[in-house]
Structure 1
Amino acid sequence: MVKDMLPAGNVEVIEAKDGVEGLDLIHKEHPNLIMLDFLLPKKSGWDVYQELQKDPQLCYIPLMLMSGRKEEVTEKLPEPFQFFAFVEKPFEKKQLVGAIKEAMQKAAQKKKAVPAPAGAPPAAAPAAAAAPAAGDRASSAEIQALKKQMAQMQGEINLLKKQLGQVVTLIKQKLK
């Protein structure tokens, strides 16, 4: 259904029947956009999302998350959604197109805002910055160390968010 709603043009759609197949295809194809359902068989959209965020080659691909149960998404990923677009099912073509545009914009913002994770290829630097002056070397090394520390802290924050989401889910289940 979603495939039929996409704007006509030079678009190749690769579909997966479950989260495991979807993640495999993402690793093989490196798509320009990922449209991820939160509720999937075999491997949930939440699990796929977490694996994408850990992978320095895949974490910057524009992501549109969709679900018919927004509360399940917000239990694990609190709003506002900073680095991906969300569209609640059912949705119209206009909402889908808007979410795709939003996903592209947020991915571009993420590339600017978040330092590349450890192991990611470095961004292209201008030729003038390739050979810093002697006084700039310490500053450059300090900046790199801080970026590495920030990436590590972001990973820890993501883990804490996951754990907090699990605790909230457990508490909600106990209250029912």
Structure 2
Amino acid sequence: MAARKILVIDDSRVIRNMVRDMLPPGNIEVLEAPDGIKGLEIIQNEHPWMILLDFLLPRMSGYEVYERLQQSRDLSCIPLLLMSGRKEEVTSKIPEPFEEKYFAFIEKPFEQKELLAGIKLSLELAKAKDRMLPVVSIASDVNVAAASVEVDAETLAKIAQLEEKLKSASALDDRLKALERNVATQTKQIGQLVAFIKQKFKG
């Protein structure tokens, strides 16, 4: 199976590398673009499986890229996850709820669990949008739909596994903190007991 191409359009190399590290392992090829013009060029040439798009970009803004995507039936069906550290900039151009526009949004800075949740939602919204659009070619739509279901199911399963690992790690961290509190309480109680015994001996 060909690698699923995920395009990350962000002018920050740190963010692009962070997203790459946070993505679930598997048959994924990460494409990168530092600005909107380069990102749109890659979208048109590579037709990626998913797009992670920063809203504030040099040369061509994320909003302009978003508008270009909406002008194409095929490109508008690519799962889209918008990212921004200034949500008000996004809502000034695209009013909430974002789900009605069939894309997901996460606010920077974000953690892995938030990124995975955003990816999962963007996949679900893209599938919902595809069902809403009129059928152009029955044969091609059946083939595309079958491939999408297979890819989505596998990727969603990996995302679910990662989410479970994150939950387990969080639960373990909570247990360790509780244990530390218990140890601290017992240490304090032992100290008080020792002080009481010493006081008795002095008396």
TM-score class, shorter: 0.5 to 0.7
TM-aligned CA distance change 1:15 to 1:75, over 3 Å: same
TM-aligned CA distance change 1:78 to 1:10, over 3 Å: same
1:62 aligns with 2:79: yes
1:99 aligns with 2:118: yes
- Give the alignment partner of residue 48 of structure 1, picking from 59, 65, 79: 65
What TM-score does the superposition give when structure 2 sets the normalisation length?
0.57
- Partner Cα distance (1:3, 1:56) in 2: 28
Partner SS for 2:74: coil
1:7 aligns with 2:24: yes
For the aligned residue pairs, the C-alpha RMSD in angstroms reads 1.7
Query: Which structure's residues are more often helix, by fraction?
Result: 2
TM-aligned CA distance change 1:3 to 1:122, over 3 Å: same
Q: Which residue of 2 aligns with 1:86?
A: 105
Partner SS for 1:21: helix
**What is the CA distance between 1:123 and its match in structure 2?**
3.8
Q: How does 1:61-140 map to 2 (within 5 A)?
A: 61-81=78-98, 82=100, 83-115=102-134, 121-124=136-139
- Partner Cα distance (1:113, 1:41) in 2: 33
Q: Which amino acid aligns with 2:31?
A: I
Structure 1, unmatched stretches of 5+, are 127-176
- Partner Cα distance (1:122, 1:67) in 2: 36
What TM-score does the superposition give when structure 1 sets the normalisation length?
0.66
**What is the CA distance between 1:125 and its match in structure 2?**
9.0
- Give the alignment partner of residue 41 of structure 2, picking from 5, 18, 24: 24
Q: Which residue of 2 aligns with 1:143?
A: none
Query: Which structure's residues are more often strand, by fraction?
Result: 2
Q: Which residue of 1 aligns with 2:144?
A: none
- Partner Cα distance (2:55, 2:61) in 1: 6
- Partner Cα distance (2:122, 2:70) in 1: 15
**What is the CA distance between 1:10 and its match in structure 2?**
1.3
TM-aligned CA distance change 1:43 to 1:123, over 3 Å: farther
Give the share of equivalent positions with the same residue, in percent.
56
Q: Which residue of 2 aligns with 1:157?
A: none
